[in-house]
Amino acid sequence: MSDAEAKKPANEDDLIDITDPEAMEDPEADEMILALQAERDDLKDKFMRALADAENSRKRSERDRREAEQYGGSKLARDLLPVFDNMKRAVQAVPDEARESSKAMIEGVELTMRELISVFKKHGIEPISPEVGDKFDPQHHEAMFEAPVPGTKAGEIVQVEADGFMLHDRLLRPARVGVSSMKAN
């Protein structure tokens, strides 16, 4: 079948001459026009929905890409936090009388800790380092224990066990703290 034959209607009697006023008054032609208009409206609706769906998919994939870029390394970062904790504990464990003889080793560990923090910051990881006396914040701190400590107010941090870390705007690990439970008199 040639292209010319494919474009020809199967029955030429079904064609309506729109230049003929009598043909335009034909109720069958009106029905056909209404059917075509309904089909056009249906196809337009489907097209608009498909267009909206494609736009939503594009936005979703862009958001997923951004999140993967920002938060994709969170598992590795979480696994590196105990390394930082152990290095900090190692420096704190050196007694004052041994500090002078171990000065080079302590400086090396502190330098490594600073480099680790620098790499963390480069990738959007910020430490949460509360101080004794700060107010407990459940959004950033995890209470490991409560104790009635004289001279403190309820909800004050009395001990810092481990620093916390934020990955951009998400909590990677809360700071682990001890909290005072002193009642007000």
**For the chain, percent of residues with pLDDT exceeding 70:** 85
Can you name the CATH fold of 72-180? Nucleotide Exchange Factor Grpe; Chain A, domain 2 (2.30.22)
List of residues 6+ apart from 110 with CB closer than 8 A: 91
Contact at 8 Å (CB) between 168 and 124?
Answer: yes
pLDDT tens for 161-181 read: 999 999 999 999 999 999 998
List the structure tokens of 26: 């034909």
Q: Which residue ranges make up each domain of the chain?
A: 12-69, 72-180
Least reliable range by pLDDT among 7-21, 62-76, 117-131: 7-21
Long-range contacts: 150-153, Cβ < 8 Å, 24+? 150/182, 152/180, 152/182, 153/180, 153/182, 153/184
- Counting beta carbons within 10 angstroms of the beta carbon of residue 80, is it exposed (0 to 12), middle (13 to 18) or buried (19 or more)? middle
pTM of this prediction? 0.65
pLDDT of 167:
93
Lowest mean pLDDT among 26-30, 119-123, 150-154: 26-30
